[in-house]
């Protein structure tokens, strides 16, 4: 029988990351995996495979904690330069230049 995680306080950071990746779905997880090296992917995959069943209350608490951490960061600033920095981290430079010129 699969284990059921129902005590949020007992979860390690790697387990929280594994739950997060499973909860956000394949499309969003794929984008995050693209940013990781092989060792990070291997460790996170092992954590995901060993989770067992996760109670909905644990998932909800994880997302509440995530939202709290985002809100305590003081908000976001949307600007041309912040947009360009974000794109530079994800796309080739020539593509970023093209997008920025079209804005």
Q: What would the pLDDT profile of 8-29 be if each residue is shown by its tens digit?
A: 888 999 999 999 999 999 999 9
The residue among 74 and 98 whose pLDDT is bigger is 98
Burial class (CB in 10 A: 0-12, 13-18, 19+), 54: buried
In this prediction, residue 3 carries a pLDDT of 57
pLDDT in tens, 58-81: 999 999 998 888 777 776 678 888
Residue 37, CB-side half-sphere exposure with 13 Å CA sphere = 1
- What's this model's pTM, rounded to 2 decimal places? 0.66
At 37, list the tokens.
Answer: 């090296």
In this prediction, residue 57 carries a pLDDT of 92
Identify any residues that bridge with 53 across adjacent strands, giving them in sequence order: 4
């Amino acid at each position: 029988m699969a284990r059921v995680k129902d005590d949020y306080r007992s979860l390690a950071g790697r387990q929280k990351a594994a739950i997060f990746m499973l909860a956000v779905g394949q499309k969003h997880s794929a984008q995050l995996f693209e940013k990781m090296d092989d060792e990070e992917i291997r460790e996170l995959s092992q954590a995901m495979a060993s989770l067992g069943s996760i109670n909905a209350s644990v998932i909800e608490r994880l997302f509440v904690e995530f939202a709290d951490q985002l809100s305590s960061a003081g908000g976001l600033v949307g600007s041309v330069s912040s947009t360009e920095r974000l794109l530079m981290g994800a796309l080739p430079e020539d593509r970023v230049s093209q997008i920025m010129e079209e804005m």
